[in-house]
């Protein structure tokens, strides 16, 4: 009986012990990145406040290993490197621009006070709540670090970015003084990627058509038209349509068709042009663009009206047109431009033997146009690129 009592109490003791272990095991919350990031951000503040650089480095390595290179970790590593003086084009493991954009998004959220967004995108914001201790500390630290560096250095640009001007970073990266730093090179790689994307363009033309040689007798005529095509890198490809009008300044002789032997006196003039044109930039700087242009097309104009009483059909002359010249554009904005075009047109209106004189006209056009690619525009805008001030 005594043995049974000892066995029974021993069994109860074991059950009680196992029960306590299971209680501890099942009630213990496993650590996740929300816990790790929150605690790490607070310990980072603690270590940096007392200048424990080695502890801060070890903490950031632990934080990165557990949760990956999130924006708060990236920011903390840069500021730590700036404080310790060993910043040397930070060894980014991924495109640093992603972290730049993430921080800008974070600051926009704080500026708009839409803190509820964080609840749905904790991973994007690195599991560190925006606008709290970590953000306030890093902003003050970066503001202090600005005083340590030359205003034309990448270190200063990064300190400025993380302190009081998170929108100025891309204009800084466009400057000549930072062109050799890694961040600027990566920035330019991305900008050039989007710059190479083709853009749709359309412009409206208004100008004058000035005949030369024997053709000068029919006088100068106004011309209206439009161009439509695309631009890729430094080349333009456009279809051109134009109409020229107003009767000739003096009368000239023309025939109804090449078989007719009767010449009629007329001042009739109404013409058109359709063609394809290619242009290449020879200068592109700060919103100004100069191109060499060349094209081929079909050109012509009416010379005689229809005469129903005498059963005479209308008559016109036409010619292939090979043209070349110069084009200038000024970009009022990234998508709107004003232009001036001067072209020399090589034609021969005597080919169908309706008139017996010819010459090579000069066309001068003013233009207003738009150029756009929605994907390209939105990405370049996010990168702070403007065609007007950076080409």
Enumerate the domain spans of the chain. 33-194, 199-382
pLDDT at 389: 54
Which pTM does this prediction carry?
0.71
pLDDT at 25: 40
Apex 201 CA angle, 200 and 204, nearest 5: 155
The tally of CA atoms less than 13 A away on the side-chain side of residue 299 is 25
Task: Report percent pLDDT > 70 for the chain.
Answer: 89
What DSSP string describes 129-143? -TTSHHHHHHHHHHH
Task: Report percent pLDDT > 90 for the chain.
Answer: 68
Question: What topology does CATH give the domain 199-382?
Answer: Porin (2.40.160)
What DSSP string describes 76-110? HHHHHHHHHT--SS---SS-HHHHHHHHHHHHHHH
Cα(59)–Cα(243) distance, rounded to whole angstroms?
A: 73
Q: What is the pLDDT of residues 275-307, one digit of tens each?
A: 999 999 999 888 899 999 999 999 999 999 988
Q: What is the pLDDT of residues 126-162, one digit of tens each?
A: 999 999 999 999 999 999 999 999 999 999 999 999 9
- Tell me which of 232 and 391 has the higher pLDDT: 232
Q: E strands within the chain?
A: 199-210, 221-232, 235-244, 252-254, 264-266, 270-285, 288-304, 315-331, 336-346, 362-372
């Amino acid at each position: 009986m005594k043995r049974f009592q000892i066995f029974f109490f021993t069994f109860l003791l074991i059950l009680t012990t196992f029960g306590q272990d299971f209680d501890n095991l099942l009630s213990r919350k496993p650590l996740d990145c929300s816990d790790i990031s929150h605690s790490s951000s607070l310990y980072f503040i603690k270590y940096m406040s007392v200048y424990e650089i080695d502890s801060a480095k070890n903490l950031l390595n632990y934080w990165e290993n557990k949760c990956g290179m999130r924006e708060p970790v990236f920011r903390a590593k840069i500021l730590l490197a700036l404080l310790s003086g060993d910043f040397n084009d930070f060894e980014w493991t991924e495109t640093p621009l992603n972290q730049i954009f993430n921080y800008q998004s974070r600051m926009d959220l704080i500026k708009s006070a839409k803190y509820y967004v964080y609840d749905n995108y904790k991973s994007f914001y690195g599991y560190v709540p925006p606008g709290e201790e970590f953000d306030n500390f890093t902003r003050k630290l970066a503001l202090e670090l600005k005083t340590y560096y030359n205003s034309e250095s990448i270190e200063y640009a990064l300190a400025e970015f993380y302190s009081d001007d998170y929108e100025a970073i891309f204009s800084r990266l466009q400057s000549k003084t930072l062109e050799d730093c890694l961040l600027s090179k990566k920035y330019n790689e991305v900008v050039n990627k989007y710059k190479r994307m083709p853009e749709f363009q359309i412009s409206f033309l208004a100008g004058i058509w000035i005949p030369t040689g024997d053709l000068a007798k029919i006088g100068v005529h106004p011309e209206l038209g439009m161009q439509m095509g695309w631009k890729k890198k430094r080349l333009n490809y456009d279809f051109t349509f134009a109409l020229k009008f107003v009767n000739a300044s003096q009368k000239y002789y023309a025939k109804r068709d090449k078989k007719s032997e009767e010449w009629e006196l007329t001042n009739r003039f109404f013409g058109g042009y359709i063609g394809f044109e290619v242009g290449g930039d020879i200068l592109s700087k700060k919103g100004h663009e100069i191109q060499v242009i060349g094209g081929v097309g079909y050109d012509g104009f009416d010379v005689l009206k229809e005469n129903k009483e005498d059963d005479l059909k209308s008559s016109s002359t036409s010619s292939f047109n090979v043209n070349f010249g110069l084009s200038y554009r000024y970009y009022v904005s990234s998508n709107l431009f004003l232009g001036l075009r001067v072209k020399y047109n090589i034609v021969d209106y005597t080919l169908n033997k309706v008139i017996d004189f010819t010459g090579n006209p000069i066309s001068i056009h003013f233009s207003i146009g738009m150029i756009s690619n929605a994907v390209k525009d939105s990405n370049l805008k996010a990168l702070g690129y403007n065609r007007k001030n950076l080409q």
